[in-house]
């Protein structure tokens, strides 16, 4: 009826560090995500869905470019196998040479908006509106703070090209009570955008990148204290409620059948923030920062009533990078042919139940840590080439999870003889297959050529996460003069960023 365009527009959402195991439909015992569970009941669940990196910035850069961080530059060479991201001191950001999803969707007439955390570089040349988005409401960095605006500035909140305030100032986050209204503000931005585009009959792309589940976790008053899982659960409940409101607006506007919605997260739940602010990675080992399954496996639900069949589970190996390729395909566009693209079109899996062979690569920074062979057949193996450290500088990424010889506190090389786990019967990576078993040899035979081929063909991008400088922090963001919120930057001292994760 009221569908504005025969081509499906699509909101995508990327949630910060919400874990695979936080969804009722994935087995969370408190069952506090009724809206996400309903979304799965009306759509398709992808239990084998992965991030491209166990940390937020590289994962988001991969989502929007369809390329592994090692290709799009969202990695560091300051140390081997370290995760870099975009804190305030970072000098780099998403290179102009990268083509982002909203830039490409423009060719098909799409209007694009990002709501929430960007994390692809905070200096003006890296902003969303310089890389294809038409609108932005949110922040360039994490909502850490409060800062005193002398040693470091508070993170600005932007509307489009200009700041409209800062976290802990115009946009309060009460660290004691956990109260903040940001999810409600982000929800309203999403609802308004959808209504406006529907009224104008424009196809749209909404990237709803909320961050309430990232420490310091927050929720608005009506949700605080309502979860059986503490403050983290309150944040999950508010996000879940917001998803419900977005989906019901699509129904009210009669654009359910012309709107494709995908729900996922950018990395595994941060067990470093546990027990008070950490989520659940279900049966998987460790969490954010690590390339064990708990750091890389993501909750994932596709929803498109009338097209994606209801109540289905797809065993397709999926990745956040697939959202790039799938979105282009939905818009009738092809991915760029002048560069390597890692994303896969998920439409055959969603519309015809057809599974496509494809590997999954697990990277930390510049180092390939593990791989899953293309065919997720009955063996369901994963080969670990290198174990990530289970802790760095005293920070434990695997609290309470001690697997002898696996969660080691130094990085362990196994490249010559990878350790292989059967994820079907051992999702927690506790029992490596015996080296002399046929199962091991069979899995090795499937993964080794894929890894060799990948590494031989790989052309790494210029690393963007090597240089830090306090002078580039958010001292005087565009628009600060109108608000009287410009601060004076210190002298520029570029140095190598040090990455503790």
Ligand X SMILES: *[C@@H]1O[C@H](CO)[C@@H](O)[C@H](O)[C@H]1NC(C)=O
Query: If binding is defined by CB under 6 A, does position 180 make contact with ligand X?
Result: yes
Residue with tokens 């670990």: 384
Considering only 94-102, 160-168, 171-179, 193-201, which stretch makes contact with ligand X by CB under 6 A? 171-179
What six digits make up the tokens of 210? Answer: 């909320």
What six digits make up the tokens of 67? Answer: 């390329």
| Dist CA 50 CA 342 (whole Å) | 12
Q: For residues 298 and 22, is the Cβ–Cβ distance under 8 A?
A: no
- Residue 119 catalytic? yes
Query: If binding is defined by CB under 6 A, does position 181 make contact with ligand X?
Result: yes
| Dist CA 360 CA 48 (whole Å) | 10
DSSP 109-164: T-EEEEEE---S--SGGGSGGGTT-SEEEE-SS-------SSSSPPPEEEETTEEE
The answer to whether the peptide bond before residue 275 is cis (omega within 30 degrees of 0) is yes
170 or 257: CB nearest ligand X: 170
Binding mask 357-396 for ligand X (x = CB under 6 A): ----------------------------------------
- The DSSP symbol for 437 reads S
Query: If binding is defined by CB under 6 A, does position 404 make contact with ligand X?
Result: yes
Q: How far is the CB of 19 from ligand X (least distance, A)?
A: 22
- Segment 66-105, which members bind ligand X (CB under 6 A)? none
Considering only 6-14, 176-184, 263-271, 341-349, which stretch makes contact with ligand X by CB under 6 A? 176-184
Distance set, CA 339 to CA 100, 184, 366, 434 (Å): 13, 39, 19, 39
51 or 391: CB nearest ligand X: 391
Query: If binding is defined by CB under 6 A, does position 179 make contact with ligand X?
Result: yes
| Dist CA 231 CA 222 (whole Å) | 12
Q: For residues 104 and 328, is the Cβ–Cβ distance under 8 A?
A: yes
CB contact set of 87 (below 8 Å; sequence gap of 6+): 141, 142, 468, 497
Burial track 40-53 (b if 16+ CB lie within 10 A, e otherwise): bebbbbbbbbbbbb
- Segment 279-298, which members bind ligand X (CB under 6 A)? none
Considering only 151-159, 173-181, 416-424, 479-487, which stretch makes contact with ligand X by CB under 6 A? 173-181
Query: If binding is defined by CB under 6 A, does position 410 make contact with ligand X?
Result: no
Q: Please name which of 147, 99, 93, 145 lies closest in space to residue 118, comparing C-alpha atoms.
A: 93
Q: How far is the CB of 402 from ligand X (least distance, A)?
A: 4
Residue with tokens 């802990």: 168
Q: How far is the CB of 221 from ligand X (least distance, A)?
A: 6
Q: How far is the CB of 179 from ligand X (least distance, A)?
A: 4
Q: How far is the CB of 417 from ligand X (least distance, A)?
A: 21
Q: How far is the CB of 310 from ligand X (least distance, A)?
A: 37
148 or 404: CB nearest ligand X: 404
Catalytic pick among 80, 119, 286, 501: 119
Choose, by CB under 6 A, the member of 352, 378, 402, 438 that binds ligand X: 402
Considering only 100-108, 177-185, 205-213, 231-239, which stretch makes contact with ligand X by CB under 6 A? 177-185
- Residue 56 catalytic? yes
Q: How far is the CB of 228 from ligand X (least distance, A)?
A: 23
Count how many Cα atoms sit within 13 Å of the Cα of residue 190 in the half-sphere of its side chain.
29
Choose, by CB under 6 A, the member of 174, 410, 462, 492 that binds ligand X: 174
Query: If binding is defined by CB under 6 A, does position 408 make contact with ligand X?
Result: no
402 or 488: CB nearest ligand X: 402
Helix 230-252 and helix 182-200, axial crossing angle in degrees, nearest 10: 10
| Dist CA 217 CA 181 (whole Å) | 12
Q: How far is the CB of 181 from ligand X (least distance, A)?
A: 4
Query: If binding is defined by CB under 6 A, does position 146 make contact with ligand X?
Result: no
Query: If binding is defined by CB under 6 A, does position 176 make contact with ligand X?
Result: no
174 or 453: CB nearest ligand X: 174
Query: If binding is defined by CB under 6 A, does position 217 make contact with ligand X?
Result: no
- The DSSP symbol for 256 reads G
Known catalytic residues are 56, 119
Residues within the interface to ligand X (CB under 6 A):
172, 174, 179-181, 402, 404
């Amino acid at each position: 009826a009221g569908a504005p365009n025969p081509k499906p527009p699509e909101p995508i959402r990327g949630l910060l560090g919400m874990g695979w195991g936080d969804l009722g439909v994935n087995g969370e015992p408190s069952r506090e995500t009724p809206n996400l569970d309903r979304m799965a009941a009306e759509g398709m669940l992808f239990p084998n869905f992965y991030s491209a990196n166990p940390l937020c910035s590289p994962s988001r850069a991969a989502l929007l470019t369809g390329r592994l961080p090692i290709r799009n530059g969202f990695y560091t060479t300051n140390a081997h196998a370290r995760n870099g991201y975009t804190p305030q001191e970072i000098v780099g950001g998403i290179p102009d040479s990268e083509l982002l999803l909203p830039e490409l969707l423009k060719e098909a007439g799409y209007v694009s908006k990002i709501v929430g955390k960007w994390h692809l570089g905070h200096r003006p040349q890296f902003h969303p509106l310089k890389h294809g988005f038409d609108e932005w409401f949110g922040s360039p960095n994490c909502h850490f703070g409060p800062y005193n605006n002398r040693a470091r500035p508070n993170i600005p909140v932007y509307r489009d090209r200009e700041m409209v305030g800062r976290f802990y100032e115009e946009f309060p986050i009460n660290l004691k009570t956990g109260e903040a209204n940001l999810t409600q503000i982000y929800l309203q931005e999403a609802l308004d955008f959808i209504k406006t585009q529907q009224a104008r009959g424009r196809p749209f792309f909404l990237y709803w990148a909320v961050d309430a589940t990232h420490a310091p976790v927050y929720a608005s008053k009506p949700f605080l204290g309502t979860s059986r899982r503490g403050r983290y659960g309150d944040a999950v409940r508010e996000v879940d409620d917001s998803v419900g409101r977005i989906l019901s607006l699509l129904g009210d506007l009669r654009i359910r059948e012309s709107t494709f919605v995908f729900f996922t997260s950018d990395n595994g739940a941060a067990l470093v923030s546990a027990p008070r602010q950490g989520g659940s990675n279900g049966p998987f080992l460790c969490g954010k920062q690590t390339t064990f399954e708990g750091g890389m496996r993501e909750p994932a639900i596709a929803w498109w009533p009338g097209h994606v069949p209801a109540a289905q589970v797809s065993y397709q190996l999926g990745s956040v990078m697939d959202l790039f390729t799938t979105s282009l395909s939905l818009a009738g566009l092809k991915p760029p042919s002048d560069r390597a693209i890692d994303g896969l079109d998920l439409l055959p899996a969603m519309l015809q139940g057809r599974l496509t062979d494809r590997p999954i690569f697990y990277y930390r920074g510049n180092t390939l840590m593990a791989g899953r062979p293309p065919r997720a057949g009955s063996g369901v193996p994963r080969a670990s080439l290198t174990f990530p450290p289970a802790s760095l500088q005293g920070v434990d990424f695997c609290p309470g999870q001690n697997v002898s010889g696996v969660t080691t506190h130094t990085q362990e090389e196994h490249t010559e003889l990878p350790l292989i786990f059967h994820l079907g019967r051992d999702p927690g990576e506790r029992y490596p297959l015996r080296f002399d078993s046929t199962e091991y040899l069979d899995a090795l035979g499937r993964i080794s050529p894929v890894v060799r081929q990948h590494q031989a063909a790989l052309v790494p991008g210029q690393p963007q996460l090597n240089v830090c400088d306090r002078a580039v922090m958010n001292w005087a963001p565009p628009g600060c003069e109108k608000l009287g919120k410009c601060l004076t930057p210190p002298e520029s001292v570029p140095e190598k960023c040090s990455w503790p994760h």
